């Protein structure tokens, strides 16, 4: 998983201004908010330059769950940590939106991070001016003096009507009250054609009637995934998306929306490492033990567990001190007995409830006092105690199923600093590709050392897969991929076997002489047997497998009556003498790796002296080697014919690493 942490400081350059209810005023007021922001990394410095997705929400209160307005995600260019944009450019800020908010709070989300702390939106000059216009919505507050005289043209003054008020020209007009009996009686049959209100409701044909009720349109549904929010002015259904949405999703709803596959809620624990501690008798001071609670995150719940043993727990007092230094007596002899197991769990725990919604990081301490005097000095112990924090983490997410990456052979986004850590899976390359800020780096999904993904060497396999076992692996060679046996244990492991002879093989040797023999009672086949001047050599091609060391194994046999010739046994690597040893006729041989053994058929010299062989791998040890091939020579320093003195070799092995 990949992590980015942000915090933002927003400065409102021009607040939500001029969105008054009067159309005349609103027409002259900007419909957007200019916002300048600074994004800094968790370490304190500005984030890397690039594009970031920001989401803005306006709420009617600091703790309001559902926003009254939302815009975004909006892609914002950040340089040096700073960005500028105008809110309302995509989703209009209207008087209707803001009129429903007694106060306005701005919330900002960076990418998929949790919403940052909300900030109140304060008045700007235009908004104050709009408030003045709003206050003019009253009765009698506007007089003729407020109006342009030209607007009163054609109107008469009240004094001009005085003459008409005194005349009898209106004497034939009935007063409104005189019509009341007509309305109440049913004696006027010529009015029966007048429709009743019930008729209007049924027909809807009387469009000149004001205030008629809106009737919902029947036989109309919202559709799949939608629910009815209300009825529009024309009688149509007002439909919205049903179920959980981003607007009503709780901060701890990750498991709900992921069908239980993801969670970011954890219970972390910090326990005392100094317990058990003896509690002195008759001491009001008691003992003090501390726990450093690390940064687990904001607490959704808190618990403290304590275990104390004492001859009489009714004489024990326990005080809990939180990181602010506040002390709460959480136990004061309320129980009897010798064992106290105390567990405080929010809610309704005075000492802990105040930490809900806060980070309880810091020093928590416990003071335990035994107020009795048993004469024993210390007959009680603080056995254990711990602090558990239930958190809603913004640092990690746990998955309870397979995590499926996007599968594509084409990078879905460019790899740059803004996309550092992005991943996708490529079936063409059989790899997971990760952006390192510049290039997409493939991590192969086929085992290194397989035919589909040959390794450079056995050491390469062991480096990439440290748990690799001895066995056959595919390696890259100058002749193409080939299977080699790898020794993953001996001398640190990572050895590539170039050659091994379970029994002597004449292939490739300059002298292919082979002899059947029995050594120490075991049938075998050896190279040779030779006397003075004899021997054989072979060159082993490593086929461009990289290496820095070689390991050569084999048996060098001393047969018959060697007379202590200097370097009677000789092994050369690339022309340089790497092993030389002598054997005295009367002794048991010499040199590292010497093994005494009988040789059958009996040696030609008919001597019954101590025959045997040197294990040259033990004698040679590990050899530094970088060349692409190795020439191996078995020679001798003995000075007699093979019928008197002779040598042979077998069990040749060559390894490189």
**What does the pLDDT read at residue 652?**
96
The tens digit of pLDDT for each residue in 69-79 reads 999 898 989 89
**pLDDT at residue 550 greater than cutoff 60:** yes
What distance in Å separates the CA atoms of residue 358 and residue 597, rounded to the nearest whole number?
81
Q: Which of the residue ranges 145-154, 164-173, 322-331, 350-359 would you say has the lowest mean pLDDT?
A: 164-173
**pLDDT at residue 2 greater than cutoff 60:** no
State yes or no: cis peptide before 276, omega within 30 of 0.
yes
CA dihedral 240, 242, 245, 251 (to 10 degrees): 130
**pLDDT at residue 1 greater than cutoff 50:** no
DSSP states along 421-432: T-EEEETTTTEE
Which of 24, 23, 74, 27 is CA-nearest to residue 53?
A: 74
DSSP states along 23-57: HHHHTTS-SSEEEEEEEEETTSSBPPSEEEEEEEE
**What does the pLDDT read at residue 559?**
85
Query: SS3 of 418, please?
Result: helix
Which of the four pLDDT bands, split at 50, 70 and 90, describes residue 246? low
Strand pairing of 569-573 and 576-581?
A: antiparallel
Which of 99, 80, 93 is CA-nearest to residue 36?
A: 80
Which of the four pLDDT bands, split at 50, 70 and 90, describes residue 648? very high
Dihedral sign computed on CA atoms, order 19, 23, 25, 29: positive
Q: Where are the alpha helices (DSSP H) in 77-175?
A: 95-99, 125-135, 162-166
What distance in Å separates the CA atoms of residue 422 and residue 415, rounded to the nearest whole number?
8
Residue 215: Cβ within 10 Å count? 10
What distance in Å separates the CA atoms of residue 263 and residue 400, rounded to the nearest whole number?
8
CA distances from 602 to 72, 561, 587, 633, 642 (A): 95, 12, 18, 26, 12
**What does the pLDDT read at residue 116?**
86
| In the chain, domain spans | 6-135, 216-262, 265-392, 404-444, 499-656
Taking residues 306-335, report their average pLDDT.
Answer: 94
Greatest Cα pair distance in the chain: 171
Q: CA triplet 549, 551, 555: central angle to 5 degrees? A: 160
**pLDDT at residue 459 greater than cutoff 90:** yes
Residue 348: Cβ within 10 Å count? 8
**pLDDT at residue 10 greater than cutoff 50:** no
The winner for highest mean pLDDT among 353-357, 399-403, 586-590, 632-636 is 632-636
The tens digit of pLDDT for each residue in 568-584 reads 999 999 999 999 988 87
State yes or no: cis peptide before 46, omega within 30 of 0.
no
What distance in Å separates the CA atoms of residue 476 and residue 71, rounded to the nearest whole number?
56
Taking residues 554-580, report their average pLDDT.
Answer: 90
**What does the pLDDT read at residue 83?**
85
What distance in Å separates the CA atoms of residue 367 and residue 398, rounded to the nearest whole number?
37
Count Cα atoms within 13 angstroms, Cβ side, for 74.
Answer: 21
**What does the pLDDT read at residue 20?**
36
Tokens for 519, please give them. Answer: 């050594």
Name the region of 117 (left: φ>0; alpha: ψ -120 to 50; beta: rest): beta
**pLDDT at residue 493 greater than cutoff 80:** yes
* Mean pLDDT for the chain overall: 82
The winner for highest mean pLDDT among 196-200, 559-563, 637-641 is 637-641
Residue with tokens 């209009």: 92
**pLDDT at residue 55 greater than cutoff 70:** yes
What distance in Å separates the CA atoms of residue 80 and residue 147, rounded to the nearest whole number?
54
What distance in Å separates the CA atoms of residue 186 and residue 197, rounded to the nearest whole number?
16
Taking residues 359-372, report their average pLDDT.
Answer: 93
How many Å separate Cα 567 from the centre of its chain? 66
What distance in Å separates the CA atoms of residue 437 and residue 422, rounded to the nearest whole number?
9
Residue with tokens 């008629």: 212
**What does the pLDDT read at residue 138?**
58
Q: Are 555 and 594 in contact (CB under 8 A)?
A: no
Q: Are 475 and 487 in contact (CB under 8 A)?
A: no
**pLDDT at residue 213 greater than cutoff 90:** no
May I ask the CATH architecture of the domain 265-392? Sandwich (2.60)
**What does the pLDDT read at residue 39?**
81
Taking residues 206-219, report their average pLDDT.
Answer: 65
Q: Are 547 and 625 in contact (CB under 8 A)?
A: yes
Which of 552, 569, 556, 553 is CA-nearest to residue 595?
A: 556
Taking residues 193-207, report their average pLDDT.
Answer: 56
**pLDDT at residue 283 greater than cutoff 80:** no
Dihedral sign computed on CA atoms, order 614, 615, 621, 624: positive
**What does the pLDDT read at residue 170?**
58
Which of the four pLDDT bands, split at 50, 70 and 90, describes residue 12? very low
CATH class of 499-656: mainly beta
The winner for highest mean pLDDT among 21-30, 132-141, 459-468, 570-579 is 570-579
CA distances from 261 to 147, 248, 253, 265, 405 (A): 69, 20, 12, 13, 15
Taking residues 521-544, report their average pLDDT.
Answer: 94
What distance in Å separates the CA atoms of residue 634 and residue 556, rounded to the nearest whole number?
8
- Assess if CATH 3.30.450.20 describes domain 6-135: no
Q: Are 345 and 301 in contact (CB under 8 A)?
A: yes
Which of the four pLDDT bands, split at 50, 70 and 90, describes residue 255? confident
- The larger pLDDT score, comparing residue 193 to residue 118, is at 118
Q: What is the pTM of this model?
A: 0.43
- Residue 597: what are its φ and ψ, rounded to 5°? -155, 150
Q: Which of the residue ranges 211-215, 232-236, 378-382 would you say has the lowest mean pLDDT?
A: 211-215
**pLDDT at residue 455 greater than cutoff 70:** yes
Task: Give residues with Cβ within 8 angstroms of 88, minimum separation 6.
Answer: 31, 32, 33, 71
Q: Contacts by 99-103 with C-beta closer than 8 Å and gap 24+?
A: 99/19, 99/21, 100/60, 100/68, 101/58, 101/59, 101/60, 101/68, 102/60, 103/60, 103/61
Which of the four pLDDT bands, split at 50, 70 and 90, describes residue 325? very high
Task: Give residues with Cβ within 8 angstroms of 269, minimum separation 6.
Answer: 386, 387, 388, 389
Type and span of the H or E element at 181: helix 180-184
**pLDDT at residue 165 greater than cutoff 80:** no
Fold equal for 6-135 and 499-656 = no
Percent of the chain with pLDDT over 70: 77
Taking residues 79-86, report their average pLDDT.
Answer: 86
**pLDDT at residue 23 greater than cutoff 50:** no
**What does the pLDDT read at residue 27?**
45
**What does the pLDDT read at residue 324?**
95
Q: CA triplet 226, 230, 232: central angle to 5 degrees? A: 110
C-alpha R_g of the chain: 48
Taking residues 376-390, report their average pLDDT.
Answer: 89
**What does the pLDDT read at residue 13?**
37
């Amino acid at each position: 998983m990949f992590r980015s942490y942000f915090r933002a400081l927003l400065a409102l350059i021009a607040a939500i201004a001029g969105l008054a209810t009067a159309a005349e005023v609103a027409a002259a007021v900007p419909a957007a908010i200019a916002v300048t922001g600074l994004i800094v990394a968790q370490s304190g410095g500005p984030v890397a330059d690039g594009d970031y997705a920001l989401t803005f929400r306006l709420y009617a209160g600091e703790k309001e769950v559902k926003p009254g307005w939302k815009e975004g995600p909006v892609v914002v260019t950040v340089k040096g940590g700073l960005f500028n944009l105008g809110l309302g450019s995509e989703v209009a800020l209207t008087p209707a939106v803001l009129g429903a908010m007694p106060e306005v709070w701005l919330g900002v989300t960076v990418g998929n991070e949790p919403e940052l702390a909300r900030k109140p939106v304060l008045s700007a000059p235009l908004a104050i001016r709009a408030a003045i216009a709003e206050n003019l919505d009253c009765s009698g507050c506007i007089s003729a003096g407020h109006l342009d005289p030209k607007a009163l043209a054609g109107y008469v003054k009240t004094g001009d009507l005085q003459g008409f008020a005194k005349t009898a020209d209106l004497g034939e007009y009935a007063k409104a009250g005189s019509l009341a009996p007509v309305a109440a009686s049913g004696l006027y049959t010529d009015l029966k054609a007048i429709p009743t209100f019930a008729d209007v409701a049924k027909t809807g044909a009387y469009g000149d009637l004001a205030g008629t009720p809106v009737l919902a349109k029947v036989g109309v549904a919202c559709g799949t995934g939608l629910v009815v929010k209300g009825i529009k002015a024309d009688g149509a259904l007002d439909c919205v998306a049903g179920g959980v949405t981003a607007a009503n999703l709780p901060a701890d709803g990750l498991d709900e929306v992921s069908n239980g596959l993801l969670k970011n809620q954890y219970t972390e624990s910090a326990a005392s490492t100094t317990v058990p501690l003896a509690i002195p008798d008759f001491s009001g001071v008691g003992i003090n033990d501390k726990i450093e609670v690390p940064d687990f995150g904001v607490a959704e719940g808190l618990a403290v567990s304590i275990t104390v043993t004492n001859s009489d727990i009714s004489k024990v007092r326990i005080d809990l001190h939180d990181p602010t230094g506040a002390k709460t007596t959480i136990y004061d002899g309320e129980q009897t007995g010798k064992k106290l197991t105390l567990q405080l769990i929010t809610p309704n725990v005075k000492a802990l409830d105040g930490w809900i919604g806060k980070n309880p990081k810091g020093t928590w301490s416990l003071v335990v006092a035994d107020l009795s005097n048993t004469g024993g000095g210390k007959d009680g112990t603080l056995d254990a105690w711990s602090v558990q924090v239930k958190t809603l983490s913004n640092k990690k997410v746990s998955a309870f199923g397979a995590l499926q990456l996007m599968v594509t052979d084409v990078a879905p986004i460019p790899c740059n600093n803004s996309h550092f850590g992005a991943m996708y899976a490529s079936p063409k390359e059989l790899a997971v590709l990760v952006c390192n800020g510049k290039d997409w780096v493939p991590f192969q999904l086929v085992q290194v050392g397989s035919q589909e993904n040959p390794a450079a060497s056995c050491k390469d396999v062991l480096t990439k897969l440290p748990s690799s076992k001895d066995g056959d692996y595919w390696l890259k060679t100058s002749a193409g991929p080939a299977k080699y046996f790898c020794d993953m244990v001996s001398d640190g492991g990572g050895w590539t076997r170039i050659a091994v002879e379970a029994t002597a093989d004449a292939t490739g040797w300059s002298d292919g002489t082979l002899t059947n023999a029995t050594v120490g009672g075991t049938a075998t086949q050896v190279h040779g047997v030779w006397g003075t001047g004899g021997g054989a050599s072979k060159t082993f091609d490593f086929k461009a497998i990289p290496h820095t060391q070689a390991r050569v194994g084999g048996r060098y046999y001393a047969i018959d009556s060697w007379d202590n010739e200097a370097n009677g046994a000789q092994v050369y690597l690339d022309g340089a003498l790497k092993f030389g040893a002598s054997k005295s006729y009367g002794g048991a041989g010499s040199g590292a790796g010497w093994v005494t053994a009988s040789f059958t058929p009996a040696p030609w010299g008919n001597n019954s002296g101590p025959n045997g062989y040197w294990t040259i791998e033990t004698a040679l040890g590990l050899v530094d080697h970088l060349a692409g091939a190795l020439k191996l020579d078995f020679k001798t320093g003995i000075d007699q014919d093979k019928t008197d003195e002779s040598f042979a070799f077998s069990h040749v092995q060559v390894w490189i690493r």
